Amino acid sequence: PTLSFTKRESGGSTYAMLAIAANDAIAVAVGDAHHHILTSPDGVTWTKRSLPIWTYLQDIVWDGSKFLVTGHSWRTSGGVAQWHNVIHTSPDGITWAERYVGVAGARLVRKLAAKPGGPAIVGGDQGFFMWSPDGISWSEVSIPALGTSTVKALACSGQEFVMLTDNATVKLLTS
């Protein structure tokens, strides 16, 4: 079989879009600069949206009940300007709530995966890894096999998470 695609305008964004996720009602794409989010109910018409804080958005997933998006933003904390990792959630791809903000330093978040109705994970630079039972509350965890690798991709089969790093593939079983 042959697949064909039609080029569509992206709702006015000229920035790189890095990831897309969808549910039965809407597709949501996120971009690397200026907190850009594009939404579309049909894949033809796209609407530009944004988060309230300038954020480099890296990845997005639909977990069966909400969208989760991860990225990093430059913020001042304790009088010091530095990178912070952030995670936002949305039930509809339009209205977003910030769920996590943490000082990143050089350990920026890059990728995100979620089990439908279950846990979610975030991975990033230099072995940075986080886990959430619900996509709302987050905890940093240590994965010895990850070392100081950078997480390049995450996926969930429904039963287990799979991670691709810059030097190996590590399979993580969920419980």
Residue range 70-87, pLDDT digits in tens:
999 888 878 888 888 999
For residue 130, give the nearest of 87, 82, 67, 76 by alpha carbon. Answer: 87
The b-or-e profile of 101-140 (16+ CB within 10 A means b, else e) is bbebeebbbbbbbbbeebbbbbbbbebbbbbbebbeebee
% of the chain surpassing 70 pLDDT: 90
Residue 134 is given by DSSP the state: S
pLDDT of residue 175: 40
Average pLDDT (166-174) is 64
